Structure 1
Amino acid sequence: MTVDQGLAAALRHRRYLLSAWPWRALAYAVTTLPLAGAAALGATVVAAPLLLVAAALRRGRPVDAGALAALAVVALAVVALAPLAGAPVAAVERWRLGLVDDRPVTAPGWRGLAARFTTATGWREGAYLAVLGAAVPLAYGTFGLLVLLDAALVAGPWLAGGEDRIVLLWATVDSPAEAVPYALAGLLAVPALVYLAGLLVAVQAAVTRLLLDDAPAGTALREVTRSRARLVSAYEAERRRIERDVHDGVQPRLTSLTLQLGLARLDVPDDSPVAKPLAAAHEQAKELMGTLRGIVQGIRPPQLTELGLAAAVGDLAARSVVPVTVHADLTRPVPDLVETTAWYVVSETLGNVTRHAGAGRAQVRLTRTDRLLVVEVRDDGRGGADPARGTGLTGLADRVAAADGRLLLSSPPGGPTLVRVELPCRP
C-alpha cells in the first residue's frame, strides 16, 4: 500500500516545508524550463506579426506589407500544426505530472494523423502548448524576479559599503548596517517564496490535468440511480443492534448447544441407534457456528477495527487478483458508518473489476476533506459498466445512499472505468 497525496493537498499541511513536496515541486519547475522555452519560441513566431505592427506604429513608420504577410503565413502555419506538435509534448507532460500529482492521467490512443485535427484532444494539446509558451514563462519570470530581489536583500550586508550602493524600490542602502534589517526580512521571506513556488507549480499542474487528462465523449461522471424506498432509516443503529444481539445472545447459546452435543456424543456408544443422528446434529451445529461467525464479521469487517480504513483497504488490494495500488490521504478520523461503507465499496468494486472488467491493473484513492470522504476506484479494463445489467452497482448505491452519500460512475466502452463515492463526514 502506498500512502501519499498531491502537491495541492500537501500545501495545506503544516509540515509542508519539512516534507519532500517542495523538492518535487522544484523538480517539476526545473524540468518545465526547457519545454516552456521551446514552446515560447513558437509563441514568439505566432506573435511576430503583432510585434512588427506595434514596432512600426511606435516608430511612426509604415508597416512592411511583405514582411507582415510572410510572418502571418508562418504564424498561421504554426497554429495549424499545433495539434500535431502538441502530441509529443503532451506525452512528456502527462509523465511529468506524476512528480506533483499521483493520480493517473488518461492518455488517448493514436487514432491517425487526421484525428489530431478533428478531435478535441488534439486541439486541447495545442492549447496546452500555448499555455506553456505564453503564460508559463510569464509566471515563472515574475517569480524569478521575486527570487532575485530576495537574494539581493539577503546579500545586502556583503554588497553594500564603500562605493557600492543598493537601490531598492523604496530606499537606498549605503552601508552594511543599513542592509541588515532588509537581509533579515529577506530570510523571513524565504519560506513564503517556497510556498509561492509550490502554489505556482500546483496551478500549472491543475491546468495540465484539465487540458491533458483525456476524457472521451460521454464519460462524465453520472450518478447511479438508487431507490430511496429501499433504504433503512436508522441503518447504523440497526446494524449495531443486530451485531450486538447476535454476538451477545445467539452466539453464546449456540456455542453451549454445540458443546452439549459434543459431550452427549461421548456418552453414547457408537453402535447406538441415536449415535449417527447425534453426530450429524453436532456437525451441523459446528457448521452453523462458522456461518454465524461469518455473518457477525460481515456486519462490520474485523479488519476495520484492527487495522483502520487505509490498512484494511490495503489488505483488500493485497488479496486482489488484479494488481491494485492504494493512495490514502486520511488525515482526520472517519465515522464508523462511513468507514464501513467505504470498505464495502472498495471490496465490491474490486470484485467487479476482477469478474467483469478484464483489467490489467486498478487504483484506489481515499481522500478525507473537511466534510467528505471521497473513494475513487479506477481500472484500465474494457469499460461499459451499466447498473441496469446487474453488476451490483445499484445495490452498492443503496448502501452508499444509506450513509447519505452518492455514487457516481464513468465507464465508457473501451474504458477506463471510474467509480467515485462521496460520503459526508459530519463533525
Structure 2
Amino acid sequence: MSGQPMPHEPSGQTIAVWEAMRSGPLPFLRSRWPLRSWAYLFSGALFGVGVLLCLAVLVALGVVLSVVGVGLVVLAATALLGIPVARAERRRLRLIEPTAPADPHGPLLDMGPWGRLRTRLRESATWRELGYTALLAIVFAGAGLGVTVLLAFSGMLLVSPVVVWALAPETVMIIPGRAVGHPLAALPFSLCGALGLALSAYAAGLLAGAQVRTAWFLLAPREAQDDHRVIELTRSRARLADAFEAERRRIERDLHDGAQQQLVALTMTLGLAEMELGAKSPAAADLVARGRGEARRALDQLRDLVRGIHPQVLTDHGLAAAVAEVALRNPVPVTVDIDLPRRLPGQVETMAYFAVTEALANAVKHSGASAISVVGRLEGDRLILLITDDGRGGADPDKGTGLSGLADRMAILRGRLLVSSPVGGPTQLRVEVPCSA
C-alpha cells in the first residue's frame, strides 16, 4: 500500500500483515498471519463492545446529571476514557505488529487532580485517542464481529461432511431448505467452507492492517509534539545555564568586592602595625610580618579562585586571549591558534573556555604529554575547538578522566564532544558548540 509515511510508523513505513499478503495466497494462508489477524480482530471486537457500553453509560449519565451540574464532570471523564483505551490498544497492537507507538502524552507534574485533568484535556493526543476509541467501539468492533461470523460459518461448512457422517442416516440441514443425507453430498459445502476461510483470512488481514494504520495515525506521538518538547527542553536548559551564569557572577562579585577587599585592607593594616612596632618589639613585628605574608598568600589564592570562576580577560578580550592566558600558566607547553572573526555569545565563550581548561587539566594529569595544541575556528554557526596532545592516549570517559562531565557540559548548549585517543597517542578532543543554541 502506497502513501505518505506516518509519524513514528513501523520501520520501513509498511504494515507487516499487508506485506505478508503480497507474498502470495499460499504463503500467506500457510503462515501465522491469518491466526494472528483473527485473534486481533476477535479480541478487538470484544474489547470494542465493552468500550461502547462504557461510552453509552457515561454519556447517558452525563446528560441525565447535567441538570445538577455533576454531568459536566462525568462528560469530562468520558473524554478521558480514550487514554486507558489507547494504552490497552498500544499493547494489543503487538499481536499484529512487531513495534507499538510510544505514549504521546507529556509527564504530569506534581499538581492536584484538577490540574492533571486540565493538562490532559488541553493535549491534542487526548482527543485523538477519544476519536480512536469511538472508531474502535463503532466501526472496528462491528467489522471484527462480521469477520468472526464469516470465520465461524466457514468453519461449520468445512466440517460439514464429518457432521453428516456422525448424524447419518438422519438428514442434516446444513443451510435452510437444503437437507443432506450423505457425507459425499456435503463435499460442495466443505469446498465453500474452505473458500470462506480463505476469504475471511484475507478480510481479516486487510481489516487488521487498516486498524493498525489508523492506530499509528491517531495513537502515536506527532512530530510537532516532539519538536515542541525539544524546544521546551532547549529553552529550559538555556534558562538553567543563564541561572548558573547569574549565580556565578554574583559569587564572583561578592568575592571581589567583599572578601578580596577585606584581605587587601587586612594586609595594609598589618603593614602599618609592623611599621609601628618596628624596633620597639622585634618579636611582635616578626609575627605581624608573618601574618601579613599569610594574608597576601590568601589574597593570591582568592584571586586565582575568582579568575578560575570566570577570568576577567574572557569578559574583556574574548576567548582567544583567555585561552592564551591559561596556556601561559600551564605546566606543559601549549600552542594556541584561535582565530575568530568576531566575539561570540557569552555563554558560548564561557562554555568553550571551561572546555579548554578541563581538557588541558586532563592532559596534564593523565596523558603524560610534552606538548599540547589548541586550535579554534568558526565554521558556519558552530565553534570548533581541537585540543591535541602527544601523550600516551587511551582516554576513556568511563574511567573517570573528566570527559563524561565535559560532554555533559557541552550538552547544555546542544554541543558535542568527540574524542580520538588510540593507545600510544595522540589524543584529540573535538569540541563543537553551536553559537545559536
User: What TM-score does the superposition give when structure 1 sets the normalisation length?
Assistant: 0.41
Larger radius of gyration: 2
Q: Whose helix fraction is larger, Structure 1's or Structure 2's? A: 2
Q: RCO greater where, 1 or 2, for CA within 8 Å and sep 6 or more?
A: 1
TM normalised by structure 2 equals 0.40
